Amino acid sequence: MLKKPILSQIFGSRRLNTNEDNENLLGYDLYSSALADMLSEPTLSMPITVGLYAKWGSGKSFLLNKLREEMKNFAHQWTDPFFQFPWLILGVALHFCFITGTVVVVLTSSSLIAIMTTFSLLAGVFFFLIMIYYCSHRLDWAYNCISYLSQKAVTARIILQIIFCHPPGSSWGTSVTAQPIRFYFTDQTRVSSTTPGESTIIQMIGSLYDSIEKDFGSISTRLFRAFRPKPVKLTSPWKWRKLCCMPNIILFEMSFMCALLAILIIAMHNGTLIFINDFSFDKSIGNVILFCCGVFILFLLIGNLYTFSQLLQSLVFSQRKQLRRATSRLDTLKSEGFIQALRTEVNLMTEMVRCLDAFTQQQTRLVIIIDGLDSCEQDKILLLLDAVRMLFSEQNTPFIVVLAIDPHAISQVIELNSRRLLNDMNFSGHDYLKNMVHLPFFLQNSGLRKVKLAQKSSQSHRKSVTNQMDESGLVHSASQDDYLMNLLL
């Protein structure tokens, strides 16, 4: 009986000359796991630039895909389901019931029917929430309902916090040493040689905006552009936003009640309410109340006129369209105003991420992957490197820049450009990369050469073994595997 080969037990049953096996033999799984472990450290200082140094065609793209999967899997481990009674959904339902009751008053001209409808809807919503909450541990449909409502409650809570609250400061709650981590990646990982460098930078920033909107929702991220809440102090907790020393949430509730009261008073003046007409109603008092409600609502509209204009503009246009509008106004993309416009958008993204992290008690890291610079022209390489250095390297920003490059080729481009601009060159291309890249990661591809050498040696050795098998009639498959293992080791 033939013995089972040793190499198939170690490396699997696939052949050694496939690309996937070669990349696995290079240890790229270990590379991606080790690098993802370092970048997923909760106490890691940000920002950080990682350099994946290897020659062109050595499998950097394969490593980037593995790194992205490893980092996503690590972030997924933090997400535990958290279910609680959705009190916020009940509060939203209460406002909806009041609006429904007011509409019923206007349509049916009966206040009694409106009151009964309002309380019936409120009791039905409360009973439904109680039922699915206590049945969620036994019934699947109730579990799915409470899970869905909990997710919507979290989204609604973030929206209300952005509108009515100031986020807590960065130094608030410093006793918490580790927080759940989320990663957002750029969609376009490989830089195209035909696309202009300016368009590539816009695409990277726009893809990060899309990733954030996909997770938090488009409404909450667009509302941040209009309201832009900031912490009062670095050490202060979250606080209510105020207008004229009064919280905005109270002003909103007062304006909401004033609007409903104004509708009811107008219905009373027209004499359409059956229940109210049985009692004496002084129209002069109603006019005074209606005037006060109108003045109060008009005062709030005038005080927040600029905010409302920004709100409408932010809700209509997405973050990517806002980015394109900010850069399309410039006469030339290569001007200083182009970098300044991009820096404004990057600062807005940073503030947005910090605000959302403060409200959700998590930490977000924005990962920018740049691959394919080795095949681009010199001006594009220098433009992208300069944009990375100016946009994503400021202190205390949540950016992780991954540069998959050939250091020798990129350093030569930097040196040629420096000689062209400066007569006295005091630095080399390697020094430039050393100052820019915080974590260099050199990919060793010597394992692949050993595999190829082992394959050639095994083929020559197999011929001699075959001749011996023909003479002796014995099969020595294990000796071939042992010989190949010695060559690999």
Q: For residue range 135-161, what is the model confidence (pLDDT) as tens digits?
A: 877 788 888 887 788 888 888 889 999
Query: Could you say which of 166, 189, 206 is where a domain stops?
Result: 166
Q: Which of 62, 73, 7 is nearest to 31 (CA)?
A: 62
**Identity of the residue numbered 404:** A
Q: Has residue 436 got a pLDDT over 90? A: no
**Identity of the residue numbered 373:** L
Sign for the CA dihedral angle at 282, 284, 290, 293 comes to negative
In a domain, 119, yes or no: yes
| pTM beyond 0.85 | no
User: DSSP class of residue 288?
Assistant: H
What gap in Å lies between CA 255 and CA 266, rounded to an integer?
16
In a domain, 413, yes or no: no
How many helices (H) and strands (E) would you count in the chain?
Answer: 20, 9
165: CB partners within 8 A, 6+ apart: 229, 238, 239, 240, 241, 359
Burial class (CB in 10 A: 0-12, 13-18, 19+), 364: buried
- Higher pLDDT: 391 or 32? It is 391
How many CB atoms are located within 10 Å of the residue 72 CB? Answer: 13
pLDDT of residue 347: 92
- Estimate to the nearest angstrom the gap between the alpha carbon of 479 and the chain centroid: 54
Give yes or no for a cis peptide into 247 (omega within 30° of 0). Answer: no
Mean of the pLDDT values across residues 46-61? 81
Q: Has residue 375 got a pLDDT over 90? A: no
Q: Has residue 454 got a pLDDT over 60? A: no
pLDDT of residue 429: 74
Q: pLDDT-derived band of residue 456, with 50, 70 and 90 as boundaries?
A: low
- Higher pLDDT: 32 or 7? It is 32
What gap in Å lies between CA 371 and CA 403, rounded to an integer?
6
In a domain, 20, yes or no: yes
What gap in Å lies between CA 460 and CA 251, rounded to an integer?
87
Q: Which of 178, 94, 169, 168 is nearest to 129 (CA)?
A: 94
Q: pLDDT-derived band of residue 477, with 50, 70 and 90 as boundaries?
A: very low
Domain count, the chain: 2
248: CB partners within 8 A, 6+ apart: 163, 164, 240, 241, 242
91 and 20 in a common domain: no
Query: Could you say which of 166, 182, 197 is where a domain stops?
Result: 166
Q: pLDDT-derived band of residue 1, with 50, 70 and 90 as boundaries?
A: very low
Tokens at residue 229, please? Answer: 């809440």
pLDDT of residue 56: 74
In a domain, 439, yes or no: no
- Cβ atoms of 221 and 212 within 8 Å: the answer is yes
How many CB atoms are located within 10 Å of the residue 388 CB? Answer: 19
Query: Could you say which of 137, 166, 195 is where a domain stops?
Result: 166
pLDDT of residue 350: 93
Which of 80-84, 105-109, 280-284 has maximum average pLDDT? Answer: 105-109
Tokens at residue 367, please? Answer: 């990962």
What gap in Å lies between CA 37 and CA 49, rounded to an integer?
15
Instruction: Compute the residue count for the chain.
Output: 489
Q: Give the HSE-up count for residue 219: Cα atoms under 13 Å, Cβ half-sphere.
A: 10
pLDDT of residue 400: 92
What gap in Å lies between CA 144 and CA 107, rounded to an integer?
36
Q: In whole numbers, what is the pLDDT of the chain averaged over residues?
A: 76
What gap in Å lies between CA 388 and CA 51, rounded to an integer?
13
Q: Which region among 71-75, 147-151, 174-178, 219-223 has the lowest average model confidence (pLDDT)? A: 174-178
pLDDT of residue 426: 62
Q: The tokens 């793209």 sit on which residue?
A: 61
Sign for the CA dihedral angle at 288, 289, 291, 292 comes to positive
Q: Which of 161, 142, 167, 139 is nearest to 85 (CA)?
A: 142
Q: The tokens 């416009």 sit on which residue?
A: 341
Q: pLDDT-derived band of residue 162, with 50, 70 and 90 as boundaries?
A: very high
- Estimate to the nearest angstrom the gap between the alpha carbon of 418 and the chain centroid: 37
pLDDT of residue 462: 66
Quote the percentage of the chain above a pLDDT of 70: 73
Helix (H, G, I), strand (E, B) or coil at 343: helix
The range of the structural domain enclosing residue 95 comes to 87-166
In a domain, 92, yes or no: yes
- Cβ atoms of 367 and 185 within 8 Å: the answer is yes
pLDDT of residue 399: 92
User: DSSP class of residue 187?
Assistant: S
In a domain, 146, yes or no: yes
In a domain, 298, yes or no: no
Q: pLDDT-derived band of residue 11, with 50, 70 and 90 as boundaries?
A: very low
Exposure string over 193-223, b if 16+ CB within 10 A, otherwise e: eeeebbebbbbbbbbbbbbbbeebbebbbbb
Main-chain phi, psi angles of 101, to 5 degrees:
-60, -40
User: DSSP class of residue 190?
Assistant: B
Q: Containing H/E element for 53?
A: strand 48-53
In a domain, 113, yes or no: yes
Q: Has residue 3 got a pLDDT over 70? A: no
Q: pLDDT-derived band of residue 291, with 50, 70 and 90 as boundaries?
A: confident
